[in-house]
Each structure stands twice: as C-alpha cells, then as structure tokens.
Amino acid sequence: MSMELIKPGINIDFVGKMKYAILLSAILILIGIGSVIYHGGLNPGIDFAGGSIIQVKFTKNITADQIRTAFKSTKLENSTIQQFGVNEFLVRTAESFSDPKILAANVAQPLTAAFSKDYEIRRVEVVGSKVGADFTRKGIIAVVLSWLAILIYVTWRFEFRYAAGGILALVHDTLIVIGAVSIMNMEFTISILAALIFVIGFSINDTIVTLDRIREIVKLNTKQTLGQIINSAINQTLSRTILTSLTVFLTLLALYIFGGAVIRDFAFALLIGTVIGTYSTIYIACTSVLFFEKMRPAKLKRNA
Amino acid sequence: MFKSLKLRGAITVVVCLVALYFLVPTFVDNIPSPWNQYLAKEKIHLGLDLQGGMHLVLEIDTDKALEAMMERSANDLKESLMDNKVRFRNVEKAKGATISLELTDSAGKSTLDKVLKDHFPDMEIASTTPREGGQLVLLKVNDKRAVELKKLTVEHSLETIRNRVDQFGVAEPEIIQEGENRILVQLPGIKDPERAKNLIGKTALLEFKLVDEENSLDEALRGKVPESSVIAYGLREDRSSGQKGQVPYLLKNKTLLTGASLETAKVQISDRFGEPNVSITFNSQGAADFDRITNENVRKRLAIVLDGVVHSAPVIQERISGGQAQITGNFTMEEARDLAIVLRAGALPAPVNILEERTVGPSLGSDSIQQGILATIIGSLLVILFMIVYYRLSGAVADIALIINVFLILATLAALHGTLTLPGIAGMLLTVGVAVDANILIFERIREELRTGKTARLALDTGYNRAFITIIDTHISGIIAAIILMFFGTGPIKGFAVTTIIGLLVSLFTAVFVTRVIFDYVTWNFNIKKLSI
C-alpha cells in the first residue's frame, strides 16, 4: 500500500467554491494594496531608488544607537541602521557616494574613531540614481514581458481562454507577493523582483499541468459540462500539485532558515509565492476558464 | 526514442563521466600527476558575492571629452585664423562642445570656410548670426565625427582601465563595455576597494605648464586673470603642524607637454627625506621636447599639474637633456605607487563617474558560501527523504536522478566557464525542488495507470508517455521566465537565471531519461511484476 496524501477518487467541488475564492483573493489583494498605500508606496531598495548600503560587523557588543552616535555630523547622520545578525548591522542611506573619498570619510573614519579596530566593513553597495531609474524601467518591462511571453506560449499550446485564466492567476500572484513584501516592510530589491519572476514561472507550471489534464478529458469525454471537466481535472492532478509545491516549499524553507541574512528576503518572497501560486492554480487559473467561457464561448462549445 | 537499453545506459554513463571530467578540479585541489593532465583545468568560478570583491559600473563622460577636444581646438583655430589674416575677436569655447567667434570683416566668412575645410575637417558651422560690423559664428563637431570620437573615447578608456588594473595586479579581473558609454569592472578578491577605485577612476592627466611670472598673481586672484593664463591650486601640508592648505598659482594656459609623452614612470625614494616620489622618463619625442622647453625657459618655473592640481613648480635651473623628471609631493608609498601605475597606463580621455558599486568583503563571501551549501544540503536531503518515504524504491530512483542533476548543473557551469553566485546556489536548490516535479508527475501517472489494473511494464510505459508532454510544457514555461530574468538581471541575478535554465534542461535528461533507464533495467532484468511506488 503506497503512501497517499490525497486519496485517489477525491472529488472536491472547486468550481463551486469559486465565489469564495474570488472573495478571498480580492481581500488578500486589497490588504496588500492597503499596505502599500499605508507605507506610502513600496519601500524601494537602493537598486531602484539609488543610495548606499553598508554592512558592518563588530567584534564586540554594539547597539544601533552607538553606531548612530558615531555617524553624528557625517553624511550618514540620517541613515537607517538595522540589526542584521549577531553584532552585525546594515546602514542605509539615500546618499549615493560617487566619489570614493567621500564614502571613506563618512564611513571608515567615524567608525574607526568610535570603535577603533573592532569592526569590519563586510559589504558596500552604492547605486546612483541614474542606474536606479534604469533598473526600475527594466524591472517593470521584465515582469510584464514574462506575463506576455507566457500568455503567448500558453495560447499557442492550448487556447486563449486558458491562457487568459493563467495570466489572471499570474497577475494575482504578483500582486499578492508584492503585498506580502509590503506588509513585512521589506525592501523591494532586485532579488525580490527575481523572486517574482520565478513565482510567475512556477505558478504557470502548475496551471499547465492542470490545463493539460482538462484537454485530455475533453478529448475522451464530451458529455460532461465544462465545469465538471475542470473540476475533475483539478482533482486528478491535485495530488501532484500539492506534492510538487511541498518539495519546492521544503527547499525554500531550508534556504530561508539556513541560507543566511543576505538571501532571506528573497527566500521569503519565494515561499509566499509558492503557496499563493499553488492556491491560484487550483482556484483562480482553472476556474476562471469558466468565466471566460461565459463571456465568449470558445471553439469547442460545451453543452453548459 | 532509443529502444536499446544498452545504448541508453551507455549514454547515461558517458554523460556522467564527462561531468566528472569537468568537476574534479573544482572538488579536488591537488590532482596528482599524471591525472591532472587528463582533466579539465578550470574550476567553477565563484561570483563576487561568494569570493568577495568589487563590482563597479563606470560611466565615461564622453561629452566632456568632446568639450576638452574643442577647448584644445579653439587655441589652434585662433592661430590658424591669424595665419590666414582673418579678422576676428573672442574665439572661445562656448556651451556644450562648441566654439564661438566673431568675424569682424564680411570677407572673413569665406576664409573661415577654407580654414575649416583644410585644417579642421571635423568641424562645421552650426549657426551664424549677423552682428554689427560682422557676424557671430558657432562651430561644432560634425555629428558623424562626434559619434566616432565618443566611441573612440570609450574604447580608449576601456584600454586604459584594463592597463591600470593589470598593473595593479588583480587575478582574473573582468572589464567589459556595457551599453554605449558604460564600463563594467569586476575585481575579485580585492583587499582595498577605496584604493582600487581611486586607481581606476583617476583621470591622471599630467600636464607641464609654465608659471606666469609676468603678471601678478594677486591681481589675478582679485579677478583680473590675463587672457593667456589661468589660476590653479596646489596642496601644501605644513610639515611641523600637519595642517593642510591650498596654494594658488598663476599658470600659462598653454600645455607644453602631457603624460602622453611618457615612456615610463616608477617610484623612487628621495635621498634627503626618504620620501617616495615618482620618477618619470619621457619617450624620445618627449625627451626632445623637454630638452627644448627647459633650454628655452631657464630660470623660469615649470609647474607639474596632475588633474588640474599643481604638484610642484620647481625653477628650471638648467637645460635638462636626459628626458627624466621627478614628481614630488607629500606622497605615501602607496600613493606614489598608484600614481606611477596610472602614469604608465596613461590618462583617461574623459572623466569617469561611478554609477554603481558593490563590494563584498571576503569574510561575508565565505559565510555566504557556507550558508548556501548548508541550505542546499539540508534542502536536498529533505526532498530526498520525502521522495523515499512517499514513493519508496521509485522515490530512490528519482533521488539518484536528483543527485546526478545537481552534479550535472555544476559540471555544466564548470564547462561553460559560468559563475556560481549566491542566488545561483538558490537557483540550484530550487531546481532540486522543481526537478522532482517531473518525477512526481510521472509517478502519479503510473499510480493512476496501476489503479486501472495495468501491468507494471505497461503502467510504466503509459505513465512516462502521458507525462512527457506535460513535463515539456512546464519546463519550457520555466525556461521562458528564466531567460527573461537573464536579459534583465544584473550579475548575481543573472547567476540565478543561468543555474535555473541549466537546471531545467538537465532535469529533462535526469528526471525523464535517466530514471527510465533505471526502471527499464530493473524491470527487464529482474522481471518485476509489482512496482514499489
């Protein structure tokens, strides 16, 4: 007897619960948008906004206040200082130091004055506002382009109404992940953008598997309504959908816990994205095919 | 595709051996001879975020180069116009890269046209405005030539920066042009980033100019700067008090000699104070010029100006024929060494701005590797364990494929001279999660087929065949997303995209092809009736 998380022959009425799913998704998206508005927009990292990040590690116990005192009357006076591990801090400022001498004068000199040799500058990132604007433009293009590319691919492989449902789910996933990043008040960095695009790729994966099954059932059986077909396709692939998400989730959990502070936000966005991607495959991508069908009956007309 | 099990088995073994060929140098530090001759030489390159180092994006200010060129041309133009007896006034560099001049004679225009055509083919008249008793003419570089000059400027800058980095001594630097006027510089394992930045970003324009001793410096400081002169400053440090101050100089406009005439430059320790200075040697033309200049200007002061700052302005005691000179100043040993490097490598043709800088210290890099490897091992173990618990022996088959998958990703990186970054490690780990997806798809399908009462062999066949098209679809959609990421991402993110793409392609081979070989081998040879799935 093999181990089964999802029993064969399971028949959950996903399509029937479409209303509740739409409601839940709408609430999640609204909370996310609300958070973005509450925080006065996304919290763009230096990749997009320009600025500097300096990561400093101390060999003894230091508080953020001590660092703030050390930076008094330098250009880092108004920077945000955030603990980033044991005796390790991130200093962020909107200033982008294009002249190397200014950076040294504002970071190394005051730190040496206050803590002599008990510190180590582990990372410096400086992004000029010009590059930041470039990244923002490229980032938006990349996300939209990935939606479009997948829309085209799925349309080519299946039908437009399936693809439209898939894209709806992708936009849904993107919005919710952005919302989650905003709620956690994480910085929106290039890594988060990469996570978003990965989530887009991952979420459509699940959708394609289910769409494949819908198509297969359609070929075998033309008696059922489209709603019934979609439901059985989701149920038949449910076990695989859950299992794959589980394995990806496990690897991401390992990354989140053990991968270190540098990559933690990235792992977080991916974790949220995996859960949301799985949910949206089941409840949004496939069920919305029905919705598009009602709007504009497709070539393969079913007796509804 | 390949019916013969033997052939498919052989392909699997060969692929694994090739992977081993590329991977051994990465995992074994000292391969004993004679083995080292038969294996690949290259290790997997680690990204700057893993080994520490500096990533810089520089912008070459090509407009400034054009302006500087026009400034030089303005003087030449003045002389040419005088030689041709054109009556004019106020030749000066105007806004942007243009020169404005006033012709005070209506006949001047045709001569100007001729002068431009014969001596300044790069220039053209941008506009003319009639003025009382003449006309105001605006000259510019013609568009085609301007584009060319900008391109040359970037190429020249790239070459100069490359030279400087080479002489500074960095292992495996990467210096490439990005876009129209940007240069990406990657310096792995750099110890002193500030110093490296200074070295790369310094324009290092060395000029020799005479000090204007006919006109009063005080007058000039009050605002009456003679037309042929300019005020420049030098730095002075009081030896006893250590106070720093600025010293003004009135210098003649004309540059007598530049760093372009140098043969070489090296650090020397002066006899008197034991202070380092930079000794320069002119090339043959430069030496001849220097001989003439010093001969003509004995008893006058010659200023040595570096990037607009006067380093010293010694009195020329006598004609200097050897083609040698010293640049003194309060240098530390490091500063002197770096100055010698930039002088040898030559001046940048235009100022550079640092647009982006990312520096990772070696300690953070090694922490990141450790954490990345730990996360990969734990994540992979979780997946491996899960597969065995859930699918038993079939799960174990998938696990073998998974391990081969990870090794093939690393081997492909090594073979393609790719770079492993921290997000790259994350991408590899994610691929582990996604690669088993193919097996889960196949196994779930096989279970479905078994439930309908099919035999093990038939269920295997149908399972693989039915799942295959779905697997192709899911992989292609994943690859599409990763390719988009590759084109838009920067350094580390590109690493994430590359490992993901490699991982997805490799998993098509391992999760579908390799597992099938194992299944077929076992079911055919041991006549298995019941699958452990």
Are A67 and A209 within one domain?
no
Q: How far is CA A136 from CA A44, A187, B285, B362, B486, in A?
A: 9, 14, 51, 29, 16
**Distant-in-sequence contacts of B154-162, Cβ < 8 A, 24+ apart:** B154/B60, B154/B62, B154/B180, B154/B181, B154/B183, B156/B348, B156/B349, B157/B60, B157/B183, B157/B348, B157/B349, B157/B350, B157/B352, B158/B183, B160/B345, B160/B346, B160/B347, B160/B348, B160/B349, B161/B58, B161/B185, B161/B200, B161/B348
Q: How far apart are alpha carbons B394 and B34 in whole angstroms?
A: 40
Domain that includes residue A281, residue range: 15-44+131-295
- Are residues B406 and B497 both part of a single domain? yes
Total Cβ atoms within 10 A of residue A71: 21
Rounded (5°) CA angle B90-B94-B95:
160
Q: B478 and B426: one domain?
A: yes
Q: Is B354 part of any domain? A: yes
Instruction: Give the phi and the psi of residue B529 in degrees, each rounded to 5.
Output: -100, -30
Q: Are residues A221 and A101 in the same domain?
A: no
Distance CA B364, CA B49 (A): 8
Residues B415 and B448 in one domain: yes
Q: Among partner residues B353, B448, B473, which is closest to A98 by beta-carbon distance?
A: B353
- How far apart (Å, rounded) are the C-alpha atoms in residues B374 and A53? 26
A159 shares contact with chain B (CB less than 8 Å): no
HSE-CB for A14 with a 13 A CA cutoff: 28
Interface ipTM: 0.87
Cis omega (within 30 of 0) for bond into B362: no
Among B307, B324, B358, the domain-final residue is B358
Amino acid at B381: L
A205 shares its domain with A217: yes
Confirm if B335 and B350 have CB atoms less than 8 A apart.
no
Taking only the tens of pLDDT, chain A with its 304 residues reads 578 888 888 888 888 888 899 899 999 999 999 999 999 889 888 888 888 888 999 998 888 888 888 888 888 888 888 888 888 999 988 877 766 566 767 788 888 888 888 888 888 888 888 888 888 888 888 888 988 998 898 888 888 878 888 888 999 999 999 999 999 999 898 889 889 888 888 888 888 888 888 888 888 877 888 888 889 999 999 999 999 899 999 999 999 999 988 889 999 999 999 999 999 988 888 778 787 777 655 555 444 3
Q: Which of A167, A199, A248, A268 is the mutation pick for testing B, counting most B CBs within 10 A?
A: A248
Same domain as B302, residue B378 = no
Would you tell me the crossing angle of helices A160-183 and A129-157 to the nearest 10 degrees? 150
Residues B492, A125: Cα–Cα separation, whole Å: 13
Are A208 and B440 in contact (CB < 8 Å)?
A: no
**Residue A190 forms contact with B (CB below 8 Å):** yes
Give B232→chain A minimum CA distance, Å: 21
Q: What domain range is B365 assigned to?
A: 5-49+361-526
Q: Is A226 part of a structural domain of the chain? A: yes
In angstroms, rounded to a whole number, what is the distance separating the alpha carbons of residues A258 and A31?
Answer: 30
- Tell me: do B500 and B367 sit in the same domain: yes
The CATH number given to whatever domain includes residue A94 is 3.30.70.3220
Asked if residue B398 and residue B296 are part of one domain, the reply reads no
Which residues of chain B, if any, have pLDDT below 50? Answer: 1
- CA neighbours closer than 13 Å in the CB half-sphere of residue B387: 34
CB B76 within 8 A of CB B385: no
Residue A83 and residue A107 in one domain: yes
Any idea which residue has 């933690």 for tokens? Answer: A264
Quickly count helices (H) and strands (E) in chain B.
15, 19
Q: Is residue A8 part of a domain?
A: no
Angle at B506 (CA atoms; ends B503, B507), nearest 5 degrees: 80
A101 contacts in chain B (CB < 8 Å): 194, 198
How far is the C-alpha of B13 from the C-alpha of A197, rounded, in Å? 35
Q: Is residue B166 part of a domain?
A: no
Identify the sign of the CA torsion B75, B81, B83, B88: negative
Cα separation, B426 vs B499, whole angstroms: 9
A131, B533: Cβ pair inside 8 Å?
Answer: no
Same domain, B378 and B321: no
In a domain, B453, yes or no: yes
User: What is the model's pLDDT at position A112?
Assistant: 86
Regarding whether A188 and A80 lie in a shared domain, the answer is no
What's the pLDDT at B120? 85
Contact A2 B447 (CB under 8 A): yes
Q: Which residue stretches of B416-455 are H helix?
A: 422-451
Exposed e or buried b per residue across A35-60, where buried means at least 16 C-beta atoms within 10 angstroms of its C-beta: bbeeeeebbbbbbbbbbbbbbbbbee
Are residues A144 and A93 part of one domain? no
Residues A96 and A189 in one domain: no
> Order of strands across the sheet with B244-252?
B244-252, B229-237, B309-312, B302-306, B206-210, B257-258
CATH number, domain with residue B89: 3.30.70
Q: Is A202 on the interface with B (CB under 8 A)?
A: yes
Chain A residues close to B477, C-beta within 8 Å: 150, 153-154, 201, 204-205, 208
Asked whether residue A169 is assigned to any structural domain, the reply reads yes
The alpha-carbon gap from B477 to the nearest alpha carbon of chain A, in Å, equals: 6
B151 within a domain of the structure (yes/no): no
Domain assignment of residue B533, yes or no: no
CA-based torsion, B259, B260, B263, B264: positive or negative: positive
β-partners of residue B53 are B188, B360
Last residue of one domain, picked from the residues A127, A150, A172: A127
Give the integer Cα–Cα distance in Å for B307 and B171.
29
The last residue of one of the domains, among B303, B337, B358, is B358
The domain boundary, picked from B126, B145, B164, lies at B145
Nearest CA in chain B to A249: B433
Of the residues A127, A159, A182, the one at which a domain ends? A127
Chain B residue closest in CA terms to A121 = B361
Query: What pLDDT was estimated at residue A304?
Result: 39
**Which token pair is B478?**
């994943």
Domain count along chain A = 2
Give the pLDDT of residue A99: 63
Q: Do B215 and B322 belong together in one domain?
A: yes
* Chain B contact for A148 (CB, 8 A cutoff): no
Residue B336 lies in a domain: yes
Q: Do A100 and A192 belong to one domain?
A: no
The A residues from 91 to 130 touching B (CB cutoff 8 Å) are 98-101, 103-104, 108, 120-128, 130
For residue B168, what is the enclosing H or E element?
helix B143-168
- A57 touching chain B per CB within 8 A: yes
Q: Decide if A9 is inside a domain.
A: no
Residues A221 and A158 in one domain: yes
Determine contact: A73 vs chain B, CB below 8 A. no
Same domain, B343 and B382: no
Is A194 in CB contact (< 8 Å) with chain B?
yes
Q: What is the DSSP string of A246-279?
A: HHHHHHHHHHHHHS-GGGHHHHHHHHHHHHHHHH
What is d(CA B481, CA B132) in angstroms, rounded to the nearest whole number? 67
Q: How far apart are CA B476 and CA B468, in angstroms?
A: 12
Considering the domain architecture, whether residues B223 and B322 belong to the same structural domain is answered as yes
Do residues A206 and A287 share a domain?
yes
Indicate whether A146 and A221 sit together in one domain. yes
| Interface contact flag, A142 B488, Cβ < 8 Å | yes
Do the domain assignments include residue B17?
yes
- The two structure tokens encoding residue B293: 């200049």
Same domain, B382 and B491: yes
B325 in a domain, yes or no?
A: yes
d(CA A49, CA A130): 9
Q: Which of A240, A251, A257 is nearest residue B383 as measured by Cβ atoms? A: A251
DSSP assignment of B491-524? HHHHHHHHHHHHHHHHHIIIIIIIHHHHHHHHHH
Q: B130 to chain A, minimum CA–CA distance in Å?
A: 41
Same domain? A187 vs A102: no
Count how many domains chain B has. 3
- Could you tell me which chain A residue has the CA closest to the CA of B500? A198
**Could you tell me the strand order of the sheet in which B262-269 lies?**
B262-269, B276-282, B324-327
Interchain CB distance below 8 Å, A243 and B358: no
Contacts A252 to B, Cβ<8 Å = 379, 429-430, 433
- Among B355, B441, B473, the residue with its CB nearest the CB of A130 is B355
CATH classification of the domain holding A184: 1.20.1640.10
Q: Which of A98, A127, A156 is the last residue before a domain boundary?
A: A127
- Please, are residues B310 and B291 in contact by the beta-carbon 8 Å criterion? no
Distance (Å, rounded) from C-alpha B462 to C-alpha B454? 9
Looking at the complex, report in whole angstroms how far the Cα of residue A260 sits from the nearest Cα belonging to chain B.
Answer: 6
Q: Are residues B464 and B387 part of one domain?
A: yes
A240 interface with B at CB cutoff 8 Å = yes
